[in-house]
């Protein structure tokens, strides 16, 4: 097949993503990217100063691929689909997931965890099915739901990625997520109730059922 005479930055990004997928981030070099493209290194250096110049573009590209997994229709529960897609991506696209969270992880400031709701709505849309499902919860419960489910889901994804759970079939993933999701949803609603002026909860961390 005749190779294109002009390569775009997007061609380089796509080739680098495939290289990560096949061999992992540690094996990504300009020479290997060029080989993946069937070209010399010259087109690469015409667009990039270094591999570091490519990292953020790769991060955006791979996060977009992860988002496609999360927005896939697996069940009739949008929030469950979001978590399920995250874990399945970690299981099926091991090297791409490792690139994001192990090889080149971005530092998550503790303070940023308290703003995950705004980040969630910005990424997926407040009017989307997942946004509407989250908005059905009140105030503090939304933030609690996002924080706790993300931490649990990320831990499960790490286990699936490492192979610690064996083949980790879809049914196993759904079982873990459904059980944890129900617990976090109840906890989020109780947290919301504890913040209400007429709450019957003396201690926000202690749940006392209404008599």
Query: In terms of DSSP H, where are the helices of the chain?
Result: 9-23, 30-37, 42-47, 52-70, 78-92, 94-98, 110-113, 116-124, 129-135, 139-162, 170-195
Range of 62-71, 126-135, 143-152, 174-183 with top mean pLDDT: 62-71
Q: Which position has the token pair 């997007």?
A: 10
pLDDT at 205: 36
Residue 59: pLDDT over 60: yes
Q: Which of 67-71, 128-132, 169-173 has the lowest mean pLDDT?
A: 128-132
In order of 97, 121, 130, 176, the CA distances from 76 in angstroms are 25, 20, 11, 17
Dihedral pair phi/psi, residue 186, rounded to 5°: -65, -40
Q: Cα separations (Å) of 168 from 41, 54, 59?
A: 40, 33, 26
Q: Which of 32-41, 107-116, 184-193 is predicted most confidently? A: 32-41
Polymer length of the chain: 211
What's the pTM? 0.75
Looking at mean pLDDT, say which of 117-121, 126-130, 148-152 comes out highest: 148-152
Q: How far is CA 103 from the centre of its chain?
A: 15
Give the integer Cα–Cα distance in Å for 126 and 147: 17
């Amino acid at each position: 097949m005749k190779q294109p005479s002009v390569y775009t930055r997007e061609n380089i990004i796509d080739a680098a993503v495939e290289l990560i997928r096949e061999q992992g981030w540690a094996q990504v070099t300009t020479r290997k990217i060029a080989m993946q493209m069937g070209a010399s290194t010259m087109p690469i250096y015409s667009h990039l100063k270094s591999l570091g110049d490519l990292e953020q573009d790769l991060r955006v590209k791979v996060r977009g691929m992860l988002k496609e997994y999360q927005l896939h229709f697996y069940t009739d529960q949008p929030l469950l689909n979001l978590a399920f897609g995250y874990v399945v991506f970690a299981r099926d696209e091991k090297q791409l997931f490792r690139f994001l969270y192990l090889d080149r992880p971005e530092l998550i400031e503790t303070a940023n965890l308290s703003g995950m709701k705004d980040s969630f709505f910005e990424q997926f849309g407040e009017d989307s099915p997942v946004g509407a499902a989250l908005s059905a919860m009140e105030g503090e419960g939304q933030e609690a739901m996002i924080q706790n489910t993300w931490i649990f889901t990320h831990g499960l994804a790490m286990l699936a990625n490492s192979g610690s759970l064996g083949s980790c079939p879809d049914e196993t993933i759904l079982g873990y997520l459904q059980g944890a999701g129900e617990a976090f949803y109840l906890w989020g609603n109780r947290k919301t109730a504890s913040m209400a002026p007429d709450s019957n909860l003396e201690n926000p961390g202690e749940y006392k059922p209404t008599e």
